[in-house]
Amino acid sequence: MESQEIFLTNDGLQRAAHQLEFLRTVKRAEIAQYLHDAKESGDVIDNAAYEEAKSQYAQLEGRIIELEEMLARAQLIDNVHSDVVSLGSTVHLETSNGRTYCYKLVGAFEAEPSAGRISNESPVGKALIGHKSGDLVIVSTPGGVKEYTITSIE
């Protein structure tokens, strides 16, 4: 098992704990019933529904273990308001052509760029850490070099 810490905001920690509880109770019971029904419906040797149920059960158990291990290594991100970008910061950026972006810097587990949450391990996240409002940040991305000015940090 990898011992690297997983950084989570309080919201991310709560979502992961709720997901784990849902999988352990509701989803596990659903798949167990599906497995039972498939087994009862005929020969288990050549039963596609039974094989599918076993596969779903194995995937579910793998996800439960993954969440348990992640929560055991979770390090809560303090929402410390600072004038320096760090994990948990909400950063407002502007490009040279006036386009604006707002990102919350989170750990990899919580990252969802379309919702404005970027990982501290992403190219933009790595480049922002340690910078202050007013700084020009140059980011090398797979799509090329990007320049952002930090307009504010929350």
Q: Where are the domains of the chain?
A: 6-76, 90-153
> Using CA atoms, how far apart are residues 131 and 147, in angstroms rounded to an integer?
13
Whether pTM > 0.75 for this model: the answer is: no
Tell me the per-residue pLDDT of 96-150, one tens digit each, with 9 for 90 and over: 999 999 999 999 989 999 999 999 999 999 999 999 999 999 999 888 999 999 9
Question: Cα–Cα distance between 60 and 133 in angstroms, integer?
Answer: 44
Looking at the domain that runs over 6-76, which CATH code has it been given?
1.10.287.180
Domain 90-153 has CATH 3.40.47.10: no
Q: State how far the Cα of 115 lies from the Cα of 141, in Å rounded to an integer.
A: 19
The closest alpha carbon to 54, from 38, 76, 78, belongs to 38
Separation of first and last alpha carbons in the chain: 35
Q: Which two tokens stand for residue 116?
A: 């404005």
Do 90-153 and 6-76 have the same topology in CATH?
no
